[in-house]
Homo-oligomer: A and B are copies of this chain.
Amino acid sequence: MQSRTSPTRAGRPRSAAADAAILAATRAALVELGWSKLTLGDVATRAGVAKTTLYRRWAGKNELVVDAVAELFDELRLPDRGSLAADIEGVVLQFAAILARPEAKSGLMAVVAESTRDEALRERIRASIVERQKRLVLEGRARAQARGELPLEEHPEEASRTADLIFDVVAGAVVHRTLFSAEPADEEWVRSFTRVLLTGLSSSTP
């Protein structure tokens, strides 16, 4: 006969599941509490884990939140809608949808704020969020070039700089719209943005 007090308490290796549980608990806490009221003690409780376990794996709140948020952006997919404009609209809408989620908004901006004073954190964000999603720009450009919508790049260095710039413009615009202007990046806005991005301000309005 077994002890009543340990119905599911079967032995050792929880270690593997713990990481996922902690990151999920972190996102849940971000939704409910926001970054500044999120506490590691609370995350540990939600994840059914001791505080010490948590500190064994992450240096602190910032690192934990970066990892928890980074996973969110891996859902992004570049759709094939037949034209560059439509592809951009599609991916920007996806990005806007993710940024509209409270755990993304609150967590992302906070760690970026923290990263201004923490070189290691800045690098962690760049590597696991920014660089990781830059693939979308590269794929999109390649596809547009294949379609003949964009000219082929000649100098690879120049190509890289341009990709970075486009990423800054696209991601920056959505972030600013969503968080600073506090307006939804909805279909209408995305259409207008895409037109400006592709044709510029100088072109006469249709």
Contact = CB atoms under 8 A, between A and B. Distances in A.
Contacts of A113: 34-36, 105-106, 108-110, 112-113
A168 B115 CA distance: 22
Q: Is the interface of A mostly helix, strand, loop or mixed?
A: helix
Interface stretch (A17-25, A39-47, A176-184): A176-184
- Count of chain copies: 4
Give the interface centre of A151, A171, A202, A203 by most chain B CB atoms within 10 Å: A202
Interface in A147-206: 149-151, 161-162, 164-169, 171-177, 179-183, 189, 192-193, 196-205
B200 A130 contact: no
Contact of A174 (B149, B172, B177): B172
